[in-house]
Amino acid sequence: MPVLKTEQSDQYEGATVIDPIRGYYKEPITTLDFASLYPSIMRAHNLCYTTLLSNKNERSKLDTSQFIKTPTGDEFVKPEVREGLLPLILKNLLEARGKAKKELKIEQCPFKKKVLDGRQLALKISANSVYGFTGAQVGKLPCLPISGSVTAFGRLMIEQTMKTVEEHYTRGGIYVF
């Protein structure tokens, strides 16, 4: 793993949190949730220490179709050029979690169900922590270009989803489904 130095003062913009409208609702309400959002973003965009283009010399050797520019302006090579280590780790963690969840659905033994549920939860936490340690400034593997890009993509996805829902599922500012 490349060692990337970060300054204690370096920060990045975090997630978008949409505050709920509190109250009692007579009609059912819908909530939207992205499954494994941050790990999925890291996989989809090949965000990793090993794919980050921090060296202009390396970037100049690539065609523009071989890398992506994130909303934060950071650049990462696409998986066709070099698959990142973190996306590969996340793929394995999320596949193992999916397998544990499938086994959980068909398991009859209460003890084994608890073990499988613990396993899928541990795999979920492990996948989410991969993003977490890239943003932790106190630790061995901080990389703000990764963590900042992840949250920037997440904000875009949430904003686009909110815009789509508001355009297609509201009338006069009231949500209709």
Q: What is the pLDDT of residues 20-37, one digit of tens each?
A: 778 888 877 777 788 889
Q: Is residue 45 part of a domain?
A: yes
Question: How many independent structural domains does the chain possess?
Answer: 1
Band (pLDDT 50/70/90 cuts) for residue 7 is low
d(CA 113, CA 124): 16
Using one digit for the tens of pLDDT, what is the confidence trace for 72-127?
999 999 999 999 999 999 999 999 999 999 999 999 999 999 999 999 999 999 99
pLDDT over 60 at 47, yes or no? yes
Say which CATH number the domain at 91 has: 3.90.1600.10
Question: Which residue in this structure is represented by tokens 């934060």?
Answer: 72
The answer, as to whether pTM is greater than 0.75, is yes
Residue 50's nearest CA partner among 79, 78, 85, 88 is: 85
Q: How many helices (H) and strands (E) does the chain have?
A: 5, 4
- Closest among 4, 1, 8, 14 to 151, alpha carbons compared: 14
Exposure pattern of 138-168 as b/e (b: 16+ CB <10 Å)? Answer: eeebbbbbbbbbbbbbbeeebeeeeeeeeee
- pLDDT given at position 1: 54
Q: 3-state DSSP call for residue 163?
A: helix
Domain extent at residue 75: 37-157
pLDDT at 70: 96
Is residue 165 in a domain? no
